[in-house]
Amino acid sequence: MISPKDRKKQLRQEALARRDALDPHWRIETSLAMADAARNIDVEPGAVVSGFWPMRSEVDVRPLIFALRENGARLCLPAILDNTTIVFRELVRGAGLVDMGFGTAGPGEEAEVLDPTLMLVPLAAFDGRGHRIGYGAGYYDRAIARLEAKGAPPRLIGIAFDCQEVERVPDEPHDVIIPEILTESGLRRFA
């Protein structure tokens, strides 16, 4: 019998292979179209929204987060501090970005660290219950747990393409369930 960890690894590889096979031009157009969902995502003026700089074949959420900024949100991006921790640094116009590793970029050390009230979470795979598979390092799981421990649980919206959906993600006690997932089909909410 395969362990949940090994099954997740297998599902991750399969979902990412499907995502990688998507036409790059289609991914760009779809990412732009997904920014239209910003009008369906309520944010209070001044709310802190964490996005992510896209890597490899991920959904490019930059148009989406910039649309949310136009609605009054403050933006931040994850910054890797060490092998276990990410913080969210404010993304402001005109500020330079630095290499964060993994092919992604983020604000430098001079940027203010913020606690997001809305977190856009990159997904490798997900199921119809809102269970997710990340990239395997646990950065987001720990960051979400840290915010919850501070009494500031963020609203979580997973970001993926429809082709990344799998039949069922194996349940593990440490898993964070994502109550909303945005794909090119729209924003889905789970019980």
Binding-site sequence positions: 8-12, 58, 132-140
Which residues in the chain belong to E strands, given as ranges? 48-50, 74-80, 86-91, 97-101, 104-107, 113-114, 118-122, 125-126, 132-133, 155-159, 180-183, 186-189
Annotated binding-site positions for ATP: 8-12, 132-140
Numbered residues of the known binding site for substrate: 58
Tokens representing 186?
A: 């729209």
23 vs 15: CA distance, rounded Å: 15
Could you tell me how many residues make up the chain?
A: 191
52 and 120 in contact (C-beta within 8 Å)? yes
3-state secondary structure (DSSP) of residue 83: coil
